[in-house]
Amino acid sequence: MGAVITGWGKCRPPLSLTNADLATLVDTDDEWISERTGISERGICHVETTDMAEVAAHHALAAAGLSATDLDLIVMATVTPEISCPSNACVLQERLGAVNAGAFDLNAACSGFVYGFASATSMVASGVARRILLVGVEKLHFVLDYRDRNTCVIFGDGAGAVIIEHSDEPDVGVLGVDLGADGPAGSTMVIPTLGTRGELSTFRDPSMHRLHFEGQAVYKIAVKGMTDSVTRALGRASLTADDIDLVVPHQANLRIIKAATSRLGVPESKVMVNIETHGNTSAASIPMALCDALDQGRVAPNDTIAITAFGGGVTWGSVIFRWGDRVARLQTSDATLPAPTGDVFDVLAANREFYSSYHEENSDSSDV
């Protein structure tokens, strides 16, 4: 019994933060950002993580022709949960009315969707569940310092979801998997204050709460990590890069995507890229890119697809799978986020205010 994707959906927030907008907030410009990242704009969410997940889920359910009560399990991959307990997957279960579904969150940072996909397809293939909703969702702007041009230009918010079901079709489903981690390298990407470390306090220190991101180190590890991971997954599937019809990589950085796929020997025509208008949305990036690939007619029945990612942890993962026979939605949904009441600068105002003391202190100390 194979496990295939039968539904897909995404939620890209209506507010966009363009490179021109960022140039008014930090010392940067469109040319600097585009050259280093391939990004022109990114979505900024004015509501919460679960709101985006709910919209993406409704679209995925409609595409599969299912109702929420048909689900056996909900898995949510995120590094920016709305709350710690109950899990965000449980909150989504309530929102959807998925009364027959179990639910849990999964955190593997940018590799979260790949880890979730490997887990969900294994559960379906083994008979543990028949229909699973897998969501990748992030509200990354919440942890970004919009006075730090090395991080704030990269990330965006969004959600993507897929429905995974059993299939009796021959030769479809997962062909090869590779998951890995390198804990000692985890210090290259850290969000330190969304956990229990330290003392109880209502005060958050801006110097600690900032996303710590070592760009050059991440680049080197990411290119090698994704290249080696896809190679191992292909080997386990007894395939080569020539057998891949489409690679849907984590949309980390355009230079990383190009370097990794070039090393694999995969031509750009077989690589799905949407980072220009979405930015790096961590666990949401692969399902959002997959939705766009389907909308653009880049997935055909029985295509061999590779998804691959690298993220904080350090984690990495790749799955090689063969698509089923359907690439069109059975139904559509009109689900959407509520209209924002202000502009993107209104949403980011709290971030700017929170981190202002950190920059004032650093500026004062540098003047001594």
Q: What is the CATH number of the domain that holds 309?
A: 3.40.47.10
Q: What is the pLDDT of residues 78-125, one digit of tens each?
A: 999 998 899 999 999 999 999 999 999 999 999 999 999 999 999 999
Q: Is 297 contained in some domain?
A: yes
Q: Is 60 contained in some domain?
A: yes
Question: What total of structural domains would you count in the chain?
Answer: 1
249-283 CB burial, b ≥16 within 10 A, e <16: bbbbbbebbbbbbebbebeeebbbbbbeebbbbbb
For 147, residues 6+ apart whose C-beta sits below 8 A from its C-beta are 25, 26, 352, 355, 356, 359
Query: What is the model's pLDDT at position 254?
Result: 95
Residue 368's pLDDT band (cuts 50, 70, 90):
very low
Residue 148's pLDDT band (cuts 50, 70, 90):
confident
Q: Is 333 contained in some domain?
A: no
Share of the chain above pLDDT 70, in %: 90
Sign of the Cα pseudo-torsion (143, 312, 36, 281, in order): negative
Tell me the catalytic residues.
Answer: 110, 250, 280
Query: Are 288 and 162 a contacting pair, CB within 8 Å?
Result: no
Q: Is 66 contained in some domain?
A: yes
Q: Is 361 contained in some domain?
A: no
Q: How far apart are the first and last CA of the chain?
A: 68
Q: Is 331 contained in some domain?
A: no
Domain limits for position 216: 2-326
Q: Is 152 contained in some domain?
A: yes
- What pTM, to 2 d.p., does this model score? 0.93
Q: What is the pLDDT of residues 220-246, one digit of tens each?
A: 788 888 999 999 999 999 999 999 999
Query: What is the model's pLDDT at position 222?
Result: 85
Residue 198's pLDDT band (cuts 50, 70, 90):
low
Ranges assigned E (strand) in the chain: 2-11, 15-18, 41-44, 73-77, 102-106, 131-138, 158-167, 173-181, 189-190, 212-213, 246-249, 304-311, 315-322
Q: Is 196 contained in some domain?
A: yes
Query: What is the model's pLDDT at position 197?
Result: 62
Q: What is the pLDDT of residues 308-361, one digit of tens each?
A: 999 888 899 999 999 999 999 999 999 999 999 999 999 999 888 888 877 766
